[in-house]
Structure 1
Amino acid sequence: MYKIYVFGLVWTFLIAGVTNLKCHVCKDQTGTTGKCDATVESCGTDEVYCLRGKKWKSTSSSVGPPRQLSEHMHCATEEECSGSVSDMETCPTPPWKDWNCTACCKSDCCNGIMACSHGTVFQNLKLMLILVAGMLTALQPYLLGSLRIT
């Protein structure tokens, strides 16, 4: 019986410690910097990076500027980030030709300007409740044993 409670406690700690990475997400945003910070998504289990990319590309329009800067952000796999730079500031950005630059990072919302604080209070509370429930389950035989009426 003791082994079952120890297994329950270990399982609870494993589940509580596993949370998916959260990244800012947007596709081909142009114009004002910071538009991409509004949307945050939880990544899949194989997506261990947050990616931020910028493109300077030719436009097909005959009206307006011949090139346009766009930004994209999303969760990414290790494979997607293998050729990325460590910092967007190190990207070669010649204004006379098209370019695409990506940078990857490994912490929640690190690919945006703003931190992703929304949802963290609820998530921390949920993790605490899971840990308390696991500890109470593991300590149940001892707690009930001390309450025996003879």
Structure 2
Amino acid sequence: MNLNLIFNLFVKVLIINCLLTFYNVGCLECYVCKNQENNKDKCVETVRTCDLTEDRCLSEVRWGSTPYWAPTGEKQFYVSKRCASKKLCENAMRNVTKRCDRIWYNDWECVECCNGDRCNYYITLASNHLIPGYVTIFVTLFLALFLIQ
């Protein structure tokens, strides 16, 4: 094989790799769990790549009675995390606004949303992240265009 053919093949593979990377970077990753007693274990170890229509990570914390009867009326936390759309987040936050008082003797529920890969690691922190994958894509594309010339 001649050197020109190898170089052209390398450039094509590089461009295809960049396009595939760009496709995957566009998808958000969120921590997911359902009705866990705390923000440990499953809630900080299980990650899901969201659908393209889901651009937020939603976290819900509830404080309420245990699922079993207890004579002392015990209460516990229920933590849930998932991918969500902007509209779903807005509706969920609007629906629980009056119940989000965090008073220990009341049953309460709070919802928060954030956008950025794995931004819902902490329950009380809603942060935005610059996705570093975009920097990698632009550098790779620049180098590919530079090598083609």
What corresponds to 1:4 in structure 2? none
Q: TM-score, normalised by structure 1?
A: 0.59
Alignment partners' CA distance in 1, 2:108 and 2:62: 6
Q: Indicate conservation of the 8 Å contact 1:55/1:101, yes or no.
A: yes
Residue number among 68, 76, 98 corresponding to 2:76 in the alignment: 68
Q: How many Å apart are 1:51 and its aligned residue?
A: 0.8
Letter in 1 for 2:90: S
Residues 25 and 75, structure 1, Cα contact 8 Å, conserved in 2: yes
Long gaps (5+) in structure 2: 1-14, 95-99, 123-130
Q: What letter matches 2:58 in structure 1?
A: L
Could you tell me whether the CA contact under 8 Å between 1:16 and 1:130 is conserved in 2? no
Higher CA-based Rg: 1
Aligned residue pairs total: 117
Quote how far apart the aligned CAs of 1:24 are. 0.6
Output the aligned Cα RMSD. Answer: 3.6
Quick one: which of 19, 24, 31 aligns to 2:31?
24
Letter in 2 for 1:131: L
Q: Which runs of 5+ in 1 are unaligned?
A: 1-8, 86-90, 114-119, 144-150
Task: Give the SS at the match of 1:80.
Answer: helix
Question: What is the aligned partner in structure 1 of residue 49 from structure 2?
Answer: 42
- Normalising by structure 2, we get a TM-score of 0.60
Identity of aligned residues (%): 29
AA of the residue aligned to 1:62: W
CA distance in 2 between partners of 1:22 and 1:131 (Å): 24
Tell whether the 8 Å contact from 2:32 to 2:82 is kept in structure 1 after alignment.
yes
Higher helix residue share:
2
- Structure 1 outlier segments of 4+, above 3 Å: 12-15, 126-136
